[in-house]
Amino acid sequence: MGAVYFYHLTRQPLEYTLPVLLDKARQAGWKIAVRGTDPARMDWLDEKLWLGAEVGFLPHGREGGPYDAAQPILLTTGPEAANHPACVMAVDGAQVDPEEVTALERVCILFDGNDDLAVQHARGQWKALTGAGCSAQYWSEESGRWEKKAEA
């Protein structure tokens, strides 16, 4: 049974935090789907990942390509990912349901702590997922380093 980890971004933006988490998931041997809600935003994120990050190059692709199933990291806007991920990283309020939390190794929900709507949406996701019996952790970078603030 998997777990859902909530990452409250307050100091570093998504384009800095996501590569670090992707690298950790790859080190665990997992294929990952990064799930967003807006194709244009996923194109932007794709460009940021191609430019590289502190963790180095992360092999990935955008959904709709001929090699989606082979991608170690697949950026998508849909609920299904052709690469059959062990981990889903949901960004920009992408929907996550309890069944996939329990079916996957890990689900990560990254949300912008400077956006009140994003915070409210994440709180609703926490309530819905923990209410459905999902194991959950809440992580904050408010102090300058990542700290676990809650667990259910």
Arithmetic mean of pLDDT over the chain: 94
DSSP per-residue letters across 39-103: HHHHHHHHHHHHT--TT-----EETTSTTGGG-SEEEESSS--TT--SEEEE-TT----HHHHHH
pLDDT at 144: 87
Question: Which residues are CB-contacts of 86 (< 8 A; sequence separation ≥ 6)?
Answer: 28, 29, 30, 31, 32, 104, 105, 106
In the chain, where are the structural domains located? 3-151
Average pLDDT over residues 117-122: 98
Instruction: Look up tokens 């409210």; give the residue.
Output: 120
The set of residues, in sequence order, having a beta carbon less than 8 Å from that of 102 and lying 6+ positions away, is 1, 2, 134
Residue type, 48: K
**What pTM did the predictor assign?**
0.94
pLDDT score at 52: 64
- CATH class as words, domain 3-151: alpha beta
Per-residue pLDDT, 57: 77
pLDDT tens for each residue of 49-108: 887 666 677 899 999 989 999 999 999 999 999 999 999 999 999 999 999 999 999 999
CA-wise closest residue to 89 among 103, 76, 102: 76
Q: Per DSSP, what are the bridge partners of residue 5?
A: 108, 137
pLDDT at 64: 93
